[in-house]
Amino acid sequence: MRNYRLGAHTKSDLRVHLVWVTKYRKPVLKGEIAVRVRDLIRQIAMEHELEIISGKVACDHIHVFVSYRPNQNISQIVQWLKGISSRVLLQEFPTMRKKFWGRHFWARGYLAVSSGAITDEMVKEYIDEQEGEQIADDSRFPIDSL
């Protein structure tokens, strides 16, 4: 059975796979820094009502698969995860400030791939099976009745 997130008037299943890299792809996510990054990401997720489904810390990048609420957007989620973790890491590990001058621990940008339990074709088939007439002028978005 699907695990929907419930709100006052909503039911949702929104999930995204995020990937981002260290500045200059420097392989610094090792040892205590890697452990601290993982802990920070967990803490940030909990504070912002994100559910971490899966994640991995590699030496120069992060993978995290999260479930989020409909009132949150992906760019905001990435901003929380990258921004807060960068600030804390550069404060707690002063030696990193020499490698990552300019207060930027992470490189610009990220990869975001949405995830779901159904395919695009399944959604199209479901919509096609619903009540309504096909109108010749626009077969992709028919009107139920005129």
| Domain range enclosing 86 | 5-117
Q: How many residues does the chain have?
A: 146
126 noted as active-site residue:
yes
pLDDT above 70 covers a percentage of the chain that reads: 88
Catalytic residue, chosen from 24, 68, 110, 126, is 126
pLDDT digits (tens, 9 = 90+) for 111-135: 999 987 777 788 778 777 776 555 5
Number of domains comprising the chain? 1
Token representation of residue 14: 């929104």
Q: What average pLDDT score do residues 20-24 get?
A: 95
* CATH code of the domain in which 46 resides: 3.30.70.1290
Residue 57 is assigned to a structural domain of this protein: yes
Q: Supply the pTM of this predicted model.
A: 0.82
39 pLDDT exceeds 80?
yes
Please tell me the number of Cα atoms within 13 Å of 32 on its side-chain side.
Answer: 4
* Contact present, 112 and 65 (Cβ < 8 Å): no
Amino acid at 8: A
140 pLDDT exceeds 70?
no
User: Rounded to 5 degrees, what are φ and ψ at 45?
Assistant: -60, -45
Look over the chain and give the mean of its residue pLDDT values, rounded to a whole number.
87
Helix (H, G, I), strand (E, B) or coil at 57: strand
